[in-house]
Structure formats: C-alpha cells, structure tokens
Copies of this chain bind each other. A is one copy, B any other.
Amino acid sequence: MDRIVTFGEIMLRLKSPGHDRLLQSPSLEATFGGGEANVAVSLSLLGREAVYVTALPENPVADAAVGELRRYGVDVSFIRRTKGRLGIYYLEAGADQRPSNVSYDREGSSLSLVRPGDFDWAAICRGAAWFHVTGITPALSQGAADASIEAAALAKQAGCTVSVDLNYRKKLWNYGRKPPEVMRELVKCADVVIANEEDIQRCLGIEPVVAEHAAGSPDVEAYRNLAGQVRAEFPNLSHVAVSLRDSRSALYI
C-alpha cells in the first residue's frame, strides 16, 4: 500500500534559451511542468509508485506530455483525454536587474473544463497511501475547484493521507470566487498543508498574530505560531509545513 496519487494540470513550458528575452533567438526549450506532475516524477525517481491524474486533449503535444511522464515511470493510466487545450506557460529567466517572468496561456485548458464526477476516484485511490493536490487547480475554474474538493474528499474516504500545497498565484483566480471560499473547504479534507506565509493569508484568510521576523534571518518561532494558528482553525490537520525560499539572483533558475 505504497502508491501515491497526485492530481493537477501539466503544461507545456516554453523557455527562451539561457537568459535571453523571449524569441530573441528563434528557439524555445520545450519541456513540461506543473507542481503536481513534478511531485509524481520526483517520487517515481526516488523509487515510489506514483500515479498522476489530469485531463489532456487528444493531440501530439499532449501525447508527448504523457510519454514524458511514462519515461520517468509515472503511472499515466488514469489520465483522461478530453476536450479543451493543453495549457502553456512561457518563461524568461532574468538577468542582473531584470527579473524572471512567466506568461500564462492556459485559458480553456482541458483541466480547467473538468467537473465533479469526471474521474473515478474510488478506482484511482484503491490501494493508494497518499493523495496530493495544490491550490493551483482550484484557481482555474469553478469546475476544477469542485473537482479538487471532490477528489480530496473521496481520497480521504479511500483511506489516503491527503496533502494540499496552497501555492497561491495572483495571476490566476479569475473566475469569480475568492480563494478562501474555496481553499478552506479543500483544507477541511486534508491531513497535511504545505504553505508559506503569503499562501496562508491569501488562501485561508488567516493573518499572523505574531510579526513575521526581524530583518535578516527568518524567525522560526513566528512561523511555528502561524502553523499553530492554522491547526487551531483546522483541527483535522496533522501537519502544517512552512516552506522558506531565499532567492539570491535572477541568474539562477
């Protein structure tokens, strides 16, 4: 009982070479990315049995995305091939004072068109130990939000530990709902929440009662307090993980 299931959107990731601006040369590095797919691939490379669930259109580029997951040993047998597009994001690595930049072209993606009932979660989670989802999918559309909550609830019923990486993205959430309305419902189905301070504020509407930290180095105690606030509001959670990332230069991506 070792399988791990992740659910989310995989996109074509088009990056200009090195630190070029987009299309400065007529070439793009073309790979696939998406937080939940990355988790599945990493777990598979570490030797775990990983299942990745998503919706993709029927076309050669989506075929290539599936092939890439399969190459890393991910179980792709529950991916549904449906209407809609393959989402795309363009990436430009920064240099010196110029920051890195991401442009999305993911409207109308197959995953944004899913609805509850589209996936047979009982079958998918049979024998699975863990189910992982992020706050990206609920940010795409009402249908994707509803499908995420349904998936987490059914995974929980099927005996999975459920983890949610809040992963707030300001450029998404354009379909009319406020993040906390949706995300608080999702977190109620979870055992583990992964977040940073901004995620907790934006997605759960929880403001830290203790100031974050003095200038310079992170104040571990303040983060411990914040995690405690989250667990106080969501007693169903066994763990709250706070991730800190220090970015030194746009030259490294």
Interface residues of A (CB under 8 A from B): 14, 21-31, 59-61, 64-65, 67-68, 70-73, 85-86, 88, 90, 92, 101, 103, 105, 107-108, 251-252
Residues of chain B within 8 A (CB-CB) of A25 are: 25-27
With A67-B71, A67-B72, A71-B68 as given contacts, are A14 and B26 in contact (CB-CB < 8 Å)?
no
With A28-B28, A103-B61 as given contacts, are A88 and B88 in contact (CB-CB < 8 Å)?
yes
The smallest beta-carbon distance between A64 and chain B, in angstroms, is: 3
With A28-B28, A59-B103, A92-B60 as given contacts, are A68 and B108 in contact (CB-CB < 8 Å)?
no
B85 touches A107 (CB 8 A): yes
CA distance A73 to B66 in the complex (A): 10
The DSSP consensus for interface residues of chain A is: mixed
Residues of chain B within 8 A (CB-CB) of A108 are: 107-108
With A14-B28, A70-B73 as given contacts, are A61 and B90 in contact (CB-CB < 8 Å)?
yes
Residues of chain B within 8 A (CB-CB) of A68 are: 23, 71
CA distance A103 to B86 in the complex (A): 12
Residues of chain B within 8 A (CB-CB) of A71 are: 67-68, 70-71
CA distance A28 to B23 in the complex (A): 11
The smallest beta-carbon distance between A13 and chain B, in angstroms, is: 9
The smallest beta-carbon distance between A224 and chain B, in angstroms, is: 24
Residues of chain B within 8 A (CB-CB) of A105 are: 59, 61, 85-86, 88
A22 touches B64 (CB 8 A): yes
- Determine the residue in chain B with the shortest Cβ distance to A30: B28
**Pick the contact of A27 from B30, B64, B86 — CB < 8 Å?**
B30
Residues of chain B within 8 A (CB-CB) of A24 are: 26
The smallest beta-carbon distance between A72 and chain B, in angstroms, is: 7
B26 touches A60 (CB 8 A): no
The smallest beta-carbon distance between A16 and chain B, in angstroms, is: 9
B59 touches A30 (CB 8 A): no
CA distance A108 to B113 in the complex (A): 15
With A27-B29, A30-B27, A70-B73 as given contacts, are A101 and B60 in contact (CB-CB < 8 Å)?
yes
- Determine the residue in chain B with the shortest Cβ distance to A71: B71
8 A-B pairs (CB sep. < 8 Å): A21-B60, A23-B61, A25-B27, A26-B30, A60-B101, A67-B72, A68-B71, A70-B71
